[in-house]
Amino acid sequence: MKMIIDKLFDRVEHYGNVCIGLDTATDYIPEAIKAEKENVEDTLFEFNRRIIEATKDITACYKVQIAYYEAQGLKGLQAYARTVSYIRELKIPVIGDVKRGDIAKTAQMYAKAHFSGDFEVDAITVNPYLGTDTLEPYYDYLRQGKAIFVLLKTSNPGSGTVQNILSKEGKTVYETLGEKLIDEGKQHMGNNGFSSICTVVGCTHAKEGKRLRQQMPNTFFLIPGYGAQGGKAQDLTGYLMNGNGGIVNSSRGIILAYRRNNPDNLPFDEASRRAAIKMRDRINQAVRRNG
């Protein structure tokens, strides 16, 4: 059995650091697709499928934000299930961005829901700010090769309200949590030197990200905030180790590229491919220049 953390490492080595976020709202979808499909499930899935097919050879993985599908009811959740299943059939890692954060039996049910059955993915995002016992119910699945991405230092402007609070020892909440994740992660190491307990560290906080990388050399990072939230390629150099150790997510910057920067009037899937290549190349250039 090959652990998903090792598959992610290998995908980054071969295809670069880009993680495409399929945060697909219905108003992002071209009218032509809406006209040809009979319902929201087929519409969402077809948009996603075409972007996946256009980018599968230039991306490390995909991240699917479940809220966009939950907002469309049962048909939306069916589109979510079809999307993650389609990606897994291509043998490409897929992260369910579900941000679950509960304890005991409830967390066990969240783990079962997203690591098996209709919604099965390779990794999920989890929120530990109810306490580190929120993570324990996922560990059985880590031993089966899955991974979790634990929210640590997030990209939103208000993250410091809680995450930057100082303890009496002078450490921030996120630094203290990082230390605990290092200890827990030692029990779930992959063959490439990274743990299946991964973290989310936004690239809008470059100084904090660099410090966390130094603190957590064996922790794989999911790095949101690139593009639409203001993160730039040069901000990422402190987050990566020889170009690996992290994936950089862009959602709207890629799936809405056909609207935002498309002077050649490319179809939406081709515009997404061009945007993903541009992002990949910028990251590669920044890492080489500063590596």
Identify whether the C-beta of residue 199 lies closer than 8 Å to the C-beta of residue 178.
yes
DSSP string, 220-289: -EEE--BSTTSB-GGGGTTT-BTTBSEEEEESHHHHTHHHHS-TT---HHHHHHHHHHHHHHHHHHHHHH
Token pair, residue 93, equals 């890692």
CA angle, residues 195, 197, 198, in degrees to nearest 5: 90
Question: For residue 19, which of 233, 237, 248 has the smallest C-alpha distance?
Answer: 248
User: Which residues are known catalytic residues?
Assistant: 99
Token pair, residue 128, equals 């530990």
Sign of the dihedral through C-alpha 28, 60, 242, 245: positive
